[in-house]
Amino acid sequence: MKKVVLLGGGNVAYHLAQRLTENPQYQLVQLYNRSPLSTAFDAIAVEKTTQLEALLPADIYILSVKDDTIAALSEQLPFEGRLVVHTSGSVPMQALSARQRRGVFYPLQSFSIAQAVDFSKVPFCLETEEVADYALLEGLAKVFSPKCYAIDSLQRQYLHVAAVFLNNFTNHLWYLSQQLCAREGIPFELLQPLLEETYLKGQQLSFFEGQTGPAKRGDRAVIEKHLALLQGIEKEIYRDISTSILTTYGK
């Protein structure tokens, strides 16, 4: 049985820890966080510590911490030559201390502690310096998901940008739509069927084929009417995205 130590106390760490405690092949032996873990972790029955000097021996150390703390934390680890990986989409593998065997264990998904995760649908993007370490990391990834991909650091950074466009930006646009309706006293439920259809269409057509709306048609009169209703950042976002769509479809 391979042993794993997980360092971090955020959303990703919580879901990884929860899943690891359910698997007989890999044993989660310890959770580390620099401050006491939130009560959400109380149900995860493994040893917990706030002291790096108290870290237990393990086959894999997973750093699931904020991007800007990865390098410093890896340098502070009180050992050398062990497999240390991080879970970030945007931090290169080389940010980890060269004193360790380095790798990346990146689950491409949006995580919230309150929302259950079906890991069988989550792609894991893996990278290591050594071939043997890749096999070890892939074995761990398959505890979570059959979807494992060898993705290098530069590819992963582009992938992370693509994920921001796909998930974070679209979510913000939905929020702006919701706020606009609330401001004008319009029930947002009127848009719910459209939201569902947009998602379903994305499963059946390419996003290029699925685009509709005034910018796709080149209907500048409607675009100008919409812009006249908006102001501030909403107006800027509407104009910029409309320009991008007009350009994409040669309008």
pLDDT over 90 (residue 240): yes
* Ordered DSSP codes for 199-240: HHHHHHS-HHHH--SHHHHT-HHHHHHHHHH--HHHHHHHHH
pLDDT higher at 8 or 22: 8
Give percent of the chain above pLDDT 70. Answer: 100
Residue 197: predicted pLDDT: 94
Residue type, 65: V
CA distance linking residue 34 with residue 49, whole number of Å: 8
Q: Is the separation of the CB atoms in 21 and 46 below 8 Å? A: yes
What pLDDT does 226 receive?
A: 97
pLDDT at 21: 87
pLDDT band per the 50, 70, 90 thresholds, residue 104: very high
Check pLDDT > 90 for residue 251: no
H-helix or E-strand spanning residue 196: helix 192-204
- % of the chain exceeding 90 in pLDDT: 82
Using alpha carbons, list the distances in angstroms from residue 94 to 100, 131, 205, 210, 216: 11, 16, 38, 39, 42
- Model confidence at 22, pLDDT cuts 50, 70, 90, reads confident
Backbone phi, then psi, for 61, in 5-degree steps?
-115, 120
Across the chain, where does the E strand assignment appear?
2-7, 26-32, 47-49, 60-63, 83-86, 101-107, 124-128, 148-150
Distance CA(251)–CA(103), nearest Å, equals 45
pLDDT of residue 23: 76
What domains, with CATH codes, occur in the chain?
A: 2-151 (3.40.50.720), 156-249 (1.10.1040.20)
Give the pLDDT score at 115.
Answer: 82
Task: Give 23-58 pLDDT, tens digit per residue.
Answer: 778 899 999 999 998 898 888 989 999 999 999 999
Residue 230: pLDDT over 90: yes
Task: Return d(Cα 50, Cα 27) in angstroms, integer.
Answer: 20
User: Which strands form 26-32's sheet, in the order they lie side by side?
Assistant: 47-49, 26-32, 2-7, 60-63, 83-86, 101-107, 124-128, 148-150
What is the average per-residue pLDDT within 107-114?
85
Give mean pLDDT, residues 145-155. Answer: 95
pLDDT of residue 29: 95
pLDDT at 112 over 90: no
Q: Alpha carbon of 243 to those of 130, 218, 224: distances in Å?
A: 46, 10, 12
Q: Cα(46)–Cα(28) distance, rounded to whole angstroms?
A: 7
Mean pLDDT for all residues in the chain:
94
**Regarding predicted confidence, which is higher, 167 or 63?**
63
- Residue 198 CA to residue 130 CA, distance in Å, equals 43
Mean pLDDT score, 220-240? 96
Average pLDDT over residues 133-141: 96
d(CA 190, CA 16): 37
For 118, counting Cβ atoms within 10 Å of its Cβ (0-12 exposed, 13-18 middle, 19+ buried), the class is exposed
For residue 3, what are the β-bridge partners? 27
* Confidence label for 187 from pLDDT (cuts 50, 70 and 90): very high
pLDDT at residue 84 above 90? Answer: yes
For 37, the token pair is 């873990």
Range of lowest pLDDT (160-169, 172-181, 218-227): 160-169
Residue 110 above 90 pLDDT?
Answer: no
